[in-house]
A and B are shown apart, each in its own frame.
Chain A
């Protein structure tokens, strides 16, 4: 059976590449520290020597729109183009082509359906920065096949936090059951407290630093009970109108299992708290 060698959950700051590659004299003061933290985080993936990446993100109205809006969707294609024109324009993210793994996508889709997660699917999915940002940070050579999974964190009504966690558990079961000797890493991105297009956007900190601090502690200790007791759609909206991206962190904790993280780092940047978590699979976590 396939082996889950690492579970990574992080924020996906679209300006990382631009911020750390522009001419040194124009860079923000935190750029070198940011780069160091990202390179250290990257090592938590590299050392596990993965063969396939299961990538969990959320389309930001790039391919998916309100005329046809799935809650959960899996990509099933031989390859995936990435980065839309407006992401290049706004964030300076280059275009990529990622190889797919149709066999694993097909297996995951069926397995998730068998676990009562009725996934939408796409045979022609162009992926956006929610999946390309972590490729840039933790696998910049973009040399591994991916199985992309999208969640809806944007267009209400959204699935519940518990549903996101249970989906993470189901994704873990599907990975564990995949009949292959491949080494799998699961990589998901979201947000801590975040405001976009509202009165609390682009402040010196994220809109709710207290939530950020608490969320990092919950994830550090793998305390799903505390998360589910304290976080709902209303509380997330109070912490910032785009804070629902935290749901993907909850999902990733489901993939890892309710365990303390093996690697935790964070960085307080203008307008967001960046956070980086890695769990290594323990024999009995599944």
Chain B
């Protein structure tokens, strides 16, 4: 398990309009590309060999599965922001303001009143 690497995915993609577009339109291919050439980048010259996804993490990212990501301890801020970036506008158009945010909360109701999975890395 690499919470750090899941967070690195969410962090690097949310902050880059081009990556976000590709992750929105074709998540399976984009996650593969990310694992191959974006995730391992430490800086412009150096590659890191340290982290990789588990199969469950990879699937959760491919499926935009924010419930699974929450349950794995992905950071709540990154996990929310990126999917707002993808779903807020289309949900707004169909169902009005905050519709996506409210659906997100509803899908996590089984965690209400419980201690959430730790986001510590």
Task: Please pick, from B8, B70, B112, the residue contacting A197 in the complex, using a CB distance under 8 A.
Answer: B70
B108 touches A199 (CB 8 A): yes
CA A237 to CA B113, docked complex, whole Å? 11
Q: For the complex, what is the distance from the CA of A232 to the CA of B77, rounded to whole Å? A: 21
**Contact B120–A156 (Cβ < 8 Å):** yes
Using a Cβ cutoff of 8 Å, how many contacts connect chains A and B? 79
Q: In whole angstroms, how far apart are the Cα atoms of A198 and B81 in the complex?
A: 12
Interface residues of A in 175-228 (CB under 8 A from B): 196-203
State the Cβ distance, B19 to closest chain A Cβ, in Å. Answer: 11
**Would you call A263 an interface residue if the criterion is a C-beta within 8 Å of the partner chain's C-beta atoms?**
no
Q: Evaluate contact between A201 and B8: CB separation under 8 angstroms.
A: no
When the two chains form their complex, are residues B8 and A90 in contact, meaning their CB atoms are under 8 A apart? Answer: no
- A interface, size bucket: 20 to 34
* Bound complex: CA A151 to CA B46 (Å): 29
Kindly supply a per-residue 1/0 record for chain B positions 105-117, scoring 1 wherever the CB is within 8 Å of any chain A CB and 0 otherwise: 1001111100110
| A208 to B: closest C-beta gap in Å | 12
Closest beta carbon of chain B to A140's beta carbon, Å: 25
**Among B80, B88, B104, B112: residue with most chain A CB under 10 A:** B80
Beta-carbon contacts of A55-92 to B below 8 Å, as 1s and 0s? Answer: 00000111001110000000000000000111001100
Q: CA of A90 to CA of B87 in the docked complex: distance in angstroms?
A: 11
Q: A86-B85, A201-B101 are in contact. Are A196 and B80 (CB under 8 A)?
A: yes
B17 contact from A61, A85, A202, Cβ within 8 A: A85
B95 touches A (CB below 8 Å):
no
Q: Do B101 and A61 touch across chains, with their CB atoms under 8 A apart? A: no
Q: Is the CB of B78 within 8 A of A198?
A: no
CB <8 Å contact, A154 and B70 = no
**In B64-104, which residues have CB < 8 Å from any A CB?**
66, 70, 75-81, 84-85, 88, 98, 101-102, 104
B22 touches A (CB below 8 Å): no
Interface size class of B (residues with CB under 8 A): 35 or more
- What's the least CB distance linking A35 to chain B, in Å? 19
Interface residue? A251 (CB, 8 A): no
Instruction: Contact check, A156 vs B118: say whether CB atoms are below 8 A apart.
Output: yes
Give A44 to B68 CA distance when docked, in angstroms. Answer: 46
A155 touches B15 (CB 8 A): no
How far does the Cβ of B88 sit from chain A's closest Cβ, in whole Å?
Answer: 8
Is the C-beta of B119 less than 8 angstroms from some C-beta in chain A?
A: yes
Does any Cβ of A come within 8 Å of B4's Cβ?
A: yes
State which of B79, B81, B111, B119 has its C-beta within 8 Å of the C-beta of A90. B81
Nearest-neighbour CB distance to chain B for A217, whole angstroms, equals 26
Check B14 for interface membership: any CB of A closer than 8 A: yes
30 contacting pairs across A/B (C-beta < 8 A): A61-B75, A62-B15, A65-B7, A65-B8, A84-B15, A85-B15, A86-B81, A86-B85, A89-B85, A90-B81, A90-B85, A155-B75, A155-B119, A156-B120, A196-B80, A197-B70, A197-B76, A197-B77, A197-B79, A198-B105, A199-B108, A201-B80, A201-B101, A201-B105, A202-B102, A202-B105, A237-B115, A241-B76, A242-B76, A270-B98
Top 3 nearest A-B pairs (CB, nearest first) are: A197-B76, A197-B80, A199-B108
